[in-house]
Structure 1
């Protein structure tokens, strides 16, 4: 993972060595599906977020059991950026607390393929609904730098499509169709949605 962090540092213009070291440190303590819980300590910060206008909240019913785990169907076969199908389906549909390992998103084709000139829309890996658009109100480099620092793609309030995204009282971030996305982990700047890339690697829904 140290080599990975160094490679990411070389690739990202403007990403500081401090951020890269943070990724390396985070990766060593990464949470795997079936392993440690991701983003520990989220309950306290989620209570703080619940007092704010955002995030838009939902009850447990949105994550009720359906035809395929918490969703009506499996994830798409043609996920973007080379995301692993089995990992995506497990995290999206049969999981409430765990995450892809920290830095996983940097091992995909994401950094090579992401638009460096403007915002990218991130679609639900199950339904194809647009869930996030980033960056908004900041540069692509700032978005990538923050995501490297935290270990997962990290979105802010203005980058969330609240038509399709909800948060639960414990901080879990989900889609309105039941896809597990990640967790809201607020920091000094406000709400920060720590999202699994495999959950938002879908193709746009066809009309």
Structure 2
């Protein structure tokens, strides 16, 4: 009996020593720093997940009447990919339901050629033609060929949640997708893969250049 008690006591002591050693190892500064570097705080993780979950909903007040339709001013005269300025202004600022005709973005503009030629440079940035704010960045989580193929299959540039800049884009209760500047962009038409933002190319053909600033994007080159 005495031998069994002694043996059990020895096992307990070994377990305690092992646990203490393991805790001491974890609390070593180098180990702690590595753990913090590879495991983001839960709040940061939540923010990252929220950034791609979408959509961020908006209200009708965004599209209230302003100095130029639903916009404060006309679209820029300097638009990318050869899109038509008059068409862009009509669709962006004086329209809530209609769109450029299906396939316009690849039959009447240089958009697809631009994407194919610049695919190796990374995702394309899409700007509001009124405010010049960044609205979309694509492709993200897929290839350029996949982005173009999906867009062609639907007739309009098609973006996914992770490709939307939710700081500037809102979705209204009926699915209309707009910018905070009051620019009509298109509609959210979900499919089996999730939210799909079917967007007019003319509504995202800004250069990102604001008054008094220069831009790295040159409309004449695209």
TM-score (norm 2): 0.68
1:99 lines up with 2:99 in the alignment: yes
SS of corresponding position for 2:170: strand
1:148 lines up with 2:148 in the alignment: no
SS of corresponding position for 1:105: helix
Equivalent residue for 2:76?
76
Structure 1 regions of 5+ residues with no counterpart? 1-52
Comparing both structures, which one devotes a greater share of its residues to helix?
2
Equivalent residue for 1:108?
109
Cα contact 1:183–1:195 (8 A) shared by 2: yes
Higher relative contact order (CA 8 A, sep 6+): 1
Worse-superposed segment, 144-153 or 104-113: 104-113
User: Alignment length, in residue pairs?
Assistant: 155
- Which entry has the higher C-alpha Rg, 1 or 2? 2
Structure 2 regions of 5+ residues with no counterpart? 1-52, 214-222
Please give the per-residue CA displacement for 1:120-141, whole angstroms capped at 9, x wherever unaligned: 0000011110000000010000
1:177 lines up with 2:181 in the alignment: yes
Give, in whole Å, the separation in 2 of the partners of 1:112 and 1:191. Answer: 26
Cα contact 1:185–1:192 (8 A) shared by 2: yes
SS of corresponding position for 1:99: coil
CA RMSD of aligned residues (A): 0.9
Give, in whole Å, the separation in 2 of the partners of 1:132 and 1:109. Answer: 18
Please give the per-residue CA displacement for 1:173-207, whole angstroms capped at 9, x wherever unaligned: 00011000000000000000000000000011335
Please give the per-residue CA displacement for 1:72-128, whole angstroms capped at 9, x wherever unaligned: 000000100000011000000000000000000002011122222220000001111
1:136 lines up with 2:140 in the alignment: yes
